[in-house]
Structure 1
Amino acid sequence: MPAVPQTRAEMRAAREAAEAAEAERIARAAAPADQAAPPAEQPDADAPAADEAAVREAAVREAAAREAAVREAGDREVAEQEAAARKMAAFEVAAREDVEATTLPPVPVAPEPVFVGAAPVAEAEAEAAPTDEAYAPPAPRLRSEEQSTGKPVRSRRFVLTLVAVLGVLVVVGTGLGIASLLQGPRISNVQVDAKQAIESSGSRAILTANQALADIDPSQVTVEPAVPFTVDASGRGIGVRFTVPLDDSTTYTIRVADVVGAGGGPTTTLTTSFETPASNIFLLRRDVDGKDKIFLTDLSGEKAVPVFEHAKINDFRATSTQLVVSVEEDDGSRLLVMDRDGKKQRELKLPGDGYVGAIQVSERGGLVGYSYSDKELSDTEGRASVLVTQSLSGDDDPQIIDVAGAEASVFVWQFVPDSAAVLFIDFDGALSLVDRSSDAGVQSLGLAAMIQGISRGTYTAIIERLDGTVVELNLADGSEEPLAASDPDYGSATSITPFPGGTLRHVVARDESGLPIGQAVVRVDDDGKATPLVEVSSADSILQACASPSGQYAAVVVAPDLANNPYDGMLLPLPEKVETHLIDMVSGEEIVALTGFDASWCQTAPRF
């Protein structure tokens, strides 16, 4: 057992007790000495007094010497106990420093891992141990055991931290999973190409939920503002396909009601919104004294930018990514394809040396179509107005459409919107349909005098038959019904352009003798209600009326002061001065009048 240090008071009391005990022992020793002398040898009464005094003095000196020895022994014991107390205090200080050093070791940052084994605790104990062998240090702590193994403490801390983090993640993940089940399905992602949605039909909005869903019925889905759509859903996804183009600068909201997870649970309503961008259009501006230019402009006309110019631009069409331009050269036509900014131009191969007209594009089919006539043409030789289609990429050769094995000369034709099918009338008046994406061959649809237009998303064409009646022809099954008159009835229309929700009809007012006294473009809704949008006098002429893809706007081409407005000498001859009036079809107000024609909203060029 190690010596237990005493306080100063305890050491002083011990020393006094030792001195008292020693004095008592000396007194007991002196008394018998006086009584031990034999009586026979006692001196006589007259012995000198000096001898007795000497004896007493010697006894006092001996007692004093013994007292000094006792005091010295007590002082030595006190010194030893104080030294032991100092050693204990120094050991406690060293122990505290060791705890601090091992509990919070400095971790130097090194470019590469440096592993330094901890020094064995035996060395530290050898330095801190007291020199007194009777003193035994306290038992080693757990920290010293870890150091004696040589394993870095840092590794254990990393493991403990990793386990703690994983535990927290498991708890959080479990909590989120439980919360998800309690809250029902939620939208985790939405995909929609808003720019594409205003330019063509068939765009999609895809809603992705955070869990697999039970079956979705189309009646659960609503879109505001109202627009035709179809629904397909599977797993976590809900697809909403818009069958017609959307309006520009409009916020659309999709709601899916009573949605439940595939494994059951609470129902919820999924809601998302997106905004469509503002529209812009391409226009062709001819200049008899300079170069013709194609401009890209917003609907205000204030941000018009020229993207392509050439001495003679006959016609052009635009897709969402490309422009197709027909230009005139001295030796015939050239057909160019380029990006919408006019860059990366490349020339498409033609069937021969000749002229191109009536350009149209099928974005869904990736095709361009046009009528082609050989430059060398006579009554017995050459091709006249044959219908040609080819890939916009230029990877294939031009394909001439034939009927019954013979190349057909085509009077008028149109691509069916959102497909690779072609509807045309040949010089014999036969109306035919052929799908360039299949080998189904030519489908005969009777006789016709004019193709007025084809509705987007409905596969319905407006056809003028040889007897002058105008019908809506279902191209899928060949059925037809008369086109309903407008209310009020503005009479027969010289051209009819369908758009989602109605038609634009170009009508001519005549006097009793049949001479034109004015013209107008009338909007006729599906229910027959008619609203005039543009009216001109007999001095001006309306050349074409087109609708924006969604039917939100109308572009009406007007040739002012026709008597003093000569035609140019192009393959597609038009008055030198033409204007395109942009109309808001909801309010009926004119937005702006721009110089130029051939708005990219139009499927075909103006007819003359």
Structure 2
Amino acid sequence: MALFSVLGVLALVVAALGVVSLTQGPRISSTSVNAAQAIQTSGSRLTLTLNQRVDSLDAKQVSVTPAVPFTVDAAGRSIGIRFTTALNDDTTYSVKVSGVVGAGGGPASDLATTFRTPASRILLLQRAPGGKDDKIFSTDLTGERARPVFEHPRIDDYRVSGNSLVVAVEEKGGSRLMVMDLDGSHQRELKLPGVGYVSSVQLSDRGGYVGYSYSDRDLTETSGRASVLVTQSLNGKGKPRIVEVGGKEASVAEWQFVPDTSSLLFVDFDGALGLQDARSDGAVKSMGVAASILGVSRGTYTAIVERADGTIMQVDLTDGSETPLPASTPDYGDADAIVPFPGGTVRHVTQRDEGGMPTGQAVVRVDDKGAAKIVAEVSGADAIVQTCVSPSGQYAAVVIAPDLPSNPYDELLLPLPGTLHTQLIDLDGKRELPTLNGFDISWCAQAPHP
């Protein structure tokens, strides 16, 4: 009798829970999101695990505040919300899903959750005069909690992707390429194509690739490789791969990884603009002729290039179609460099007087509707040498060389003025940020162009 009584009670409990589930609609059991990753790269995902199955969901049922683009999928007891751009740091995001109905029918319910992204930590390079070690520092945006993560007498370049730090150092025999964790631990060396020099180090967002320009140390007019484009896996497996055009190793004037992919876009010494995936030895896709790559947009696969005739064009890398880059309002003139970000671009322009003579430099924020605003400017002997934007477009970092005539260049492979300051800017104007000593903040996809 006792056993039957217990079974009867359990049956009543199960039935009661079933009735509650049917009368209340789906509820959130748990949530998961990698908030630290979400401020570094696009494609992060918030997963809502429910107490019952759902069949389908429309993106119109989901809202995210502050607004950010996303896609939605639902399968079984899970709802997935994928953010197609990086998120702002130190920000609380509210997510609401309305009218959710279980797979078996029943009443609809509205779901809500929040999560907060962490404050940013950045890396910054400081070169030291007088034979002292150059240092890469890790710090927060205040600059007050800096600590060195890597030191070497001659650091040429470095890049960050995910949890990997890649550093190119210069020694008497040539360059070395080091890979390590972000705190400088677990260092290992990548094998180069030969004994030579490395520059223009970049990392892919997908696939785990490093790319760089390589030149042999022993280079003559008739022998050796000059400025060939090399890609290889960060895990050290496999040999370095040299990009070929028409079956020949190509000397490359400039190049960039396409954001959110493992593809690379480059201009060779003949001015040909080409596109190739680092994952394969497939043929290079011709994208016409170009004088320079000004920037590549994240998420849209659109490159901003200067054509051989000086026109600035937006090139769709999926089909090769192109349109002129619209002028901003106000129009501050042609850009020397352009950094796309979600919702617009940051443009480095040279300011000129009515006679066309340069009077200074400015960094201009242009939104996707063309509205422009100067966010930083210099005049006189100061010069802007690098402009970078955080992954979400929340912040900009403008590197300034003060008093250039009295600021001698160093003697590394990538020579730069000895004194460089990084001015941090909140592009939304919500907070004042400091100016830090150093340059090449970890938001930068590539090194400065002196």
TM-score tier, shorter chain, comes to over 0.9
Alpha-carbon spacing, 1:345–1:164, altered in 2? closer, same or farther (3 Å): farther
Q: Is 1:315 equivalent to 2:157 in the alignment?
A: yes
- Tell me: CA distance 1:583–1:238, structure 2 relative to 1, closer, same or farther (3 Å): same
Conserved in 2, the CA contact under 8 Å of 1:506 and 1:519?
A: yes
Say if 1:494 and 1:505, in contact at 8 Å, map to a contact too: yes
Of 303, 326, 340, which residue of structure 1 is paired with 2:168?
Answer: 326
Unaligned runs of 5+ in 2: none
Deviation, 1:219, is 1.6
Aligned match of 2:263: 421
Task: Tell me the amino acid that sits aligned with residue 436 of structure 1.
Answer: A
* Residue 233 of structure 2 corresponds to residue 391 of structure 1: yes
Structure-to-structure mapping, 1:101-250, within 5 angstroms: 160=2, 167-250=8-91
Distance 1:581 1:201 in 2: 25
Conservation of the 8 A alpha-carbon contact between 2:56 and 2:73: no
Post-superposition shift, 1:440?
4.0
Q: Does residue 521 of the first structure (1) align with residue 388 of the second (2)?
A: no
2:209 corresponds to: 367
Q: Which has the larger radius of gyration?
A: 1
Separation in 2 of the partners of 1:409 and 1:163? Answer: 83
Distance 1:348 1:166, change over 3 A: farther
TM superposition shift of 1:457: 1.1
Q: Paired residue for 1:351, among 193, 197, 205? A: 193
**1:386–1:407 contact (8 Å) kept in structure 2:** yes
Cα shift readout 1:436-473 (whole Å, capped 9, x = no counterpart): 22454210000001111111111111111111111111
Post-superposition CA distance 1:398-424 (Å, at most 9, x none): 000000100000000000111110000
- Give, as a single letter, the amino acid of the residue that structure 1 aligns with 2:375: L
**Distance (Å, rounded) in 1 between the aligned partners of 2:161 and 2:332:** 34
Specify the alignment match of 1:264 in structure 2: 105
CA 1:369–1:163: 2 relative to 1, 3 Å:
farther
Residue type matched to 1:270 in 2?
Answer: L
Partner of 1:603: 445
Matched, 1:586 2:437: no
Shift of 1:225: 1.0
Aligned residue type for 2:12: V
TM-score for both structures, normalised by structure 2? 0.97
Residue 441 of structure 1 corresponds to 283
Provide the C-alpha distance between the structure 1 equivalents of 2:166 and 2:308, rounded to a whole number of angstroms: 33
* Alpha-carbon displacement from aligned partner over 1:245-268 (angstroms, at most 9, x marks no partner): 000111112222111111110011
CA–CA distance in structure 1, aligned partners of residues 434 and 242 of structure 2 = 41
1:70-122, Cα deviation, whole Å (9 max, x unpaired): xxxxxxxxxxxxxxxxxxxxxxxxxxxxxxxxxxxxxxxxxxxxxxxxxxxxx
The one-letter code sitting in structure 2 at the alignment partner of 1:399 is R
Shift of 1:235: 2.0
Number of aligned residues = 449
Contact 1:516 1:538 in 2 (8 A): no
**Cα distance in structure 2, aligned partners of 1:330 and 1:338:** 22
Q: Higher helix share goes to which structure?
A: 1
Secondary structure (helix, strand or coil) at the match of 2:434 reads: strand
Q: 1:181 to 1:439 in 2, by over 3 A?
A: farther
Give me the whole-angstrom Cα distance separating, in 2, the residues matched to 1:173 and 1:300.
Answer: 55
Q: Per-residue deviation at 1:332?
A: 0.1
Q: Which residue of 2 aligns with 1:432?
A: 274
The answer to whether the Cα contact below 8 Å between 2:229 and 2:250 also exists between their aligned partners in 1 is yes
CA distance in 2, matches of 1:468, 1:166: 83
Structure 2 distance, partners of 1:198, 1:170, is 48
Amino acid at match of 2:21: S
Task: Point out where structure 1 has 5 or more consecutive residues left out of the alignment.
Answer: 1-158
Question: How far, CA to CA, are the matches of 2:224 and 2:280 in structure 1?
Answer: 28
Contact 2:301 2:316 in 1 (8 A): yes
Who is 2:300 aligned against? 458
Deviation of 1:326 (Å): 0.3
Relative to structure 1, the CA distance from residue 173 to residue 291 in structure 2 (aligned partners, 3 Å threshold; closer, same or farther) is same
Residues 511-550 of structure 1 mapped to structure 2, 5 A cutoff: 511-550=353-392
Alignment match, 2:398: 556
Q: Which residue in the other structure is 1:280 paired with?
A: 121
Q: Percent identity?
A: 61
Asked whether the 8 Å contact 1:459–1:475 carries over to 2, the reply is yes
Length-normalised TM-score, structure 1? 0.72
Give the letter for the 1:388 counterpart.
V
Report the Cα distance in structure 2 between the residues aligned to 1:511 and 1:198, rounded to whole angstroms. 40
Q: 1:361 Cα deviation (Å)?
A: 0.4
Q: Is the CA contact (8 Å cut-off) linking 2:25 and 2:108 kept in structure 1?
A: yes
Answer with 367-376 or 233-242: which moved more.
Answer: 233-242
Q: Which has the higher contact order (CA 8 A, sep 6+)?
A: 2
C-alpha change, 1:315 and 1:181, in structure 2 (3 Å) is: same
Contact between 1:323 and 1:338, CA under 8 Å: does it hold in 2? yes
Structure 2 CA distance for aligned equivalents of residues 310 and 164 of structure 1: 76
Which structure's residues are more often strand, by fraction? 2
SS at match of 1:175: helix
Give, in angstroms, the shift of residue 164 of structure 1.
5.6
TM-superposed CA distance for 1:170, in Å, is: 3.5
- Aligned 8 A contact 1:520 1:532 in 2: yes
Distance 1:575 1:590 in 2: 26
CA contact (8 A) 2:209 2:278 kept: no
Q: Distance in 2 between matches of 1:170 and 1:231?
A: 37
